[in-house]
Structure 1
Amino acid sequence: MKTVSMHNFHLPLPADVYEGLRDAARRLSVPATQLARQAVEEWVRQQRVNAVHEELASYAQAHAGTAADLDETLEGAAIEHLVNGEEKP
């Protein structure tokens, strides 16, 4: 089994956020720290997804109208798939 290195992080929360977290933890019967960790992990994951999206959008914008803009073979395959595509299950 893989061991994950953990680090502690002190995070002061406004009273209403703290109480909301504690209430949710009680409702779900899980530790508040687990909920907070999951929320932070999801936020970090979404930031990575957003960064990749921004990089792709920037690349696409920078190369629009150039030879790098279109792969004719890929476009042909996509058109063929759309015209002769398989039926969805």
Structure 2
Amino acid sequence: MDQDIQGRIKELITEEHRLRAALGEGAITADEEHARLGSIEAQLDQCWDLLRQRRAKRQYGENPDDAAARSEDVVEKYLG
């Protein structure tokens, strides 16, 4: 499962780089890039959050499969 999450993180980072390149080439507008990047950043935050949850559960002897993805709203408003 951790490898799946890490794979998704890599996919999202690749997409982020592709969007930045497309903007630089004039293939998309800044507004299009901004809208899509917002979604990518939120998904990245969710992936990192889930990965941290899984690692914490493993560290404390709990089942990492009990970790669950939290909503974008929760992850984006998390303050620590």
**Superposition TM-score tier, normalisation by shorter sequence:** 0.3 to 0.5
Q: Which has the larger radius of gyration?
A: 1
The structure in which a higher percent of residues are helix is: 2
Q: Determine which structure has greater relative contact order: mean sequence separation of CA pairs < 8 Å that are 6+ residues apart, divided by chain length.
A: 2
TM-score w.r.t. the length of structure 1 is 0.41
TM-score w.r.t. the length of structure 2 is 0.45
